[in-house]
Structure 1
Amino acid sequence: MRNFILILFVAAACLAFIITGHLYWERKIDATVQAARMKIDASANQEEAPSRAEEILDRAKQLPAAAQAAIKRAVEENRPIRFVVAGSESTPETGGWPELLKRALDDAYGKGAFHITVHEYDGLTTADADEKRIAADWAKDKPDLVLLEPFLLNDNGVVTIDDSLAHIKSIISQLTSAAPDAAVILQPPNPIYNATYYPRQVEQLEAFAKENGYPYINHWPAWPDANSEELNRYVDPQTDLPTAEGAKLWADALAKYFITQ
């Protein structure tokens, strides 16, 4: 009887040892498999990051060198590209071409690649903007890119073009002093129907940008001829501001500049 009990005890001990050993090795194998999976996932993420960075930089390759450098810096720091859009009531904070441009950038670069902040100044002239030192508003956003529509339409008939250009230069200087890494790009406001002096002022703005080395987006060729009544579909003749169709046209023209197809 004692031998039988001893045999049972030994058998139970062996079974317990086998089960314990099996569970131990099972856990060990699971841990090894999990560690291998984590290593593979980490490696995949590391491979994905350069690929994503390359994709963003490839999309931006037709931008000016300073803008590409600013975007590259943001990508390397693994953060959104801080993009400030500033201008008059032609550049509305809501419901206009900046919102449409943001959607286009999200579609092309991936949602969140750009963080866009819009600063709209209703009724300001370049003289007002210079005096109020509004560039300090933009510098607070620590921008990588600044797209400036410099109040030229509000200046029309109020501020001479020579003074306008001097104020624009001062505004940009204020910005670059406060945010030296920001890449500034100029663009004109929208065209208006049957204007006489305003188109000449815009031509001088473009020449000024070229002379001073400021990147310039000339979106006017995308609009109907300024002497054609067709323009009134895109710019409200009562307010001289873009209609919904005009906002889309403007955004599409800018998207072609910011997004390499």
Structure 2
Amino acid sequence: MKKVALLVFFVLCLASVIGGKLYWNHKIDRVKAASLAQSKQDSARLQGLSTDDSDQRSFEKKLAKLPESVKKAAEKANQKNGHVQIVMIGGKSEQELAAQLQQTFDNRFGESLFSVTVKTIDGLNSLNVMKKSADLLKPAQGSPDLVLYTPPIYADDRSVSTGDTQTVVRMIAEQLSKKYKHAAFFLNPPNYSSQLPYMNERIDELTDEADNQKISVVKYLSEWPKEAKRADVVAADGHTMNKSGQKIWLDSITKQWGLK
């Protein structure tokens, strides 16, 4: 009887030892698995952070040459899935330039960050534009972050003085600053004429006055052809940009704002 009891006791002890070992092996395997899973999660998270940091640095690099207020608007819009609103005010040339500028921004930043709205002033002189300026400054949605204004200087010829054209530029810039304090304003000077030298002098006076008033100017006229070659970049009227003229403007602003 004692032998049977001892045998049973021995079997129970052995089972307890084996069961305990199996239990702890199972526990250790679970801990190892959990640790490995956590390690993979941490690695993925760190990789994600590294990618996010890299993407952010790349994004900031693309913004580097944009006007400061536009840069801030782009950073904010990027965080909130919003849009940077750009308004181009001008005539027939600006209607076509706006579409090309939109495409350039899309190529650089994707199709949802920048929105270019064109406000046409065909048939208006500067004094007429001033009366409508409040509506012209507003994009289709939201408020403007950047306004590019091309004065209708050819419509002003023989009806509005150079001084009045300059005054309207300043007044629109001031109006924008008061109503939309964050927005940037740029004078986009009309391109030179191939037929009317005196109009080219007016354009130079316009840009010089803008510089004196500390108004930002799109600098593309330095790339415009000289003398007889000007006919190659405009339509038959002598001043509406053709495709070659549009390319000069777009290449210049692309370089100026780092859009490539």
The interval holding the TM-score normalised by the smaller chain is 0.7 to 0.9
Match in the other structure for 2:252: 253
Match in the other structure for 1:107: 107
CA positional deviation for 1:181: 0.8
Distance 1:42 1:120 in 2: 50
| More moved, 243-252 vs 181-190 | 243-252
Distance 1:151 1:38 in 2: 61
Q: Which has the higher contact order (CA 8 A, sep 6+)?
A: 1
Distance 2:93 2:141 in 1: 23
Retained in 2: the 8 A contact 1:81–1:115?
yes
**Structure 1 residue runs without a partner (length 5+):** 1-24
Distance 1:178 1:132 in 2: 15
Retained in 1: the 8 A contact 2:234–2:245?
yes
1:94-138 deviation line (CA, Å, top 9, x unaligned): xx2222222222223333332222222212221111012344434
Matched, 1:186 2:205: no
Task: Give the alignment's TM-score, normalised by structure 1.
Answer: 0.74
| Aligned-partner SS, 1:146 | strand
Retained in 2: the 8 A contact 1:139–1:178?
no
Retained in 1: the 8 A contact 2:74–2:113?
no
Match in the other structure for 1:6: none
Match in the other structure for 2:237: 238
Bigger fraction of residues in helix: 2
Distance 1:42 1:86 in 2: 46
Larger radius of gyration, structure 1 or 2?
2
Match in the other structure for 2:199: 198
Which residue identity does 2:166 align to in structure 1?
Answer: L
Retained in 1: the 8 A contact 2:98–2:117?
no
Give the CA RMSD over aligned residues.
3.2
Q: How does 1:9-88 map to 2 (within 5 A)?
A: 44=47, 46-88=49-91
Distance 2:189 2:113 in 1: 26
Task: Give the alignment's TM-score, normalised by structure 2.
Answer: 0.74
Identity %: 21
CA positional deviation for 1:60: 3.1
**Structure 2 residue runs without a partner (length 5+):** 1-28
| Aligned-partner SS, 1:197 | helix
CA positional deviation for 1:193: 0.4
Distance 1:165 1:190 in 2: 16
CA positional deviation for 1:235: 0.5
Retained in 2: the 8 A contact 1:71–1:144?
no
Distance 2:72 2:126 in 1: 28
Question: CA 1:250/1:47 → structure 2, altered by over 3 Å: closer, same or farther?
Answer: same
Which residue identity does 1:142 align to in structure 2?
Answer: S
Distance 1:36 1:67 in 2: 41
| More moved, 54-63 vs 212-221 | 54-63
Matched, 1:162 2:163: yes
Distance 1:36 1:81 in 2: 40
Question: CA 1:136/1:242 → structure 2, altered by over 3 Å: closer, same or farther?
Answer: closer
Match in the other structure for 1:130: 130
Distance 1:83 1:47 in 2: 32
Distance 2:214 2:56 in 1: 28
